[in-house]
Amino acid sequence: NSGVEQPPCLFQFHKDGFLVLEHFFTAEECDSMRNQIQSIVAEMEVPPHCRTEFSTKEEEQLQAQGSSDYFLTSGDKIRFFFEKGVLDKKGNFLIPKEKSISKIGHALHAYDPVFKQITHCSKVQELGRKLGLERPVVVQSMYIFKQPGIGGEVTPHQDATFLHTEPLGRILGFWIALEDATRENGCLWFIPGSHTNGITRRMVRAASGASTCVEFVGSEPAYDDSQFIPLPISKGGLVLIHGEVVHKSELNSSESSRHAFTFHVMEAKDTSWSKENWLQPTPELPFPSLYT
């Protein structure tokens, strides 16, 4: 033994590639995030690129370009992403707007006081230190709604596909259940131990002028469904997610939502962030240190 005694739960994290910490946050902390997002949604305007009417091929391409620019430049902003089929061609809501939204990203941790406070709270910083993170920086955050009945599935993936670092193994996800996450409403599923084989696919920025804003290099293998285990977790629970562990969530077929707040941290010490990642730090928002 190297003399550094790891808490038993961290051994579990390194073995499985994920760790469940029940009741990490209080009900009050969860409710403060939910209330804050409610007021953000209440003031939300539909983005202009969602408002154009499709008619010609050319306009469809402009629309797609608008969507991709909106996504690519969302790293240092608070922006809105919708479930499929909730807006008509003019960009009007077909269902109540608070039920139409899929997620809000990607800089809540930087620009919203409630989410900033949670991201940098002493419990999270302490956990970072227990994990041995020396210079952790926050790269992005998202509020995920997983709406009742329409909250879409998230297919099996590794976070490092989207957030690539050299070396690998420097990305860590913090996933906070703001409501109970159950098998019925779309909890996370993991393949334990799948974080040790590297990654097979990367999402990179496409060359300028390409028809899409990002493209995939490599391919996602066919995962064996029977290897996934569900991770139901109650409100306030935290799931730590290794950047290379394979995970997914199913369609929410229940009548209750499954709100979650999630953010990703990179160990910046001796690490380089890929220039090809869709997400890039900007002069307005360099990646902030997790430790304050």
Q: Which of 138, 120, 123 is nearest to 292 (CA)?
A: 120
Give per-residue pLDDT as tens, 51-77: 877 667 777 777 788 888 899 999 999
Res. 254: pLDDT tops 90: yes
Res. 5: pLDDT tops 70: no
Res. 1: pLDDT tops 50: no
* Ramachandran quadrant class, 267 (left: phi over 0; alpha: psi -120 to 50; beta: rest): beta
Mean pLDDT over the full length of the chain: 93
Give per-residue pLDDT as tens, 138-177: 999 999 999 998 888 999 999 999 999 999 999 999 999 9
Q: Which of 119, 53, 104 is nearest to 291 (CA)?
A: 119
How many Cα atoms are found within 13 Å in the side-chain-facing hemisphere of 252?
25
Q: What residue ranges define each of the domains in the chain, with the CATH number in brackets?
A: 8-273 (2.60.120.620)
Q: Which of 155, 223, 190, 233 is nearest to 17 (CA)?
A: 190
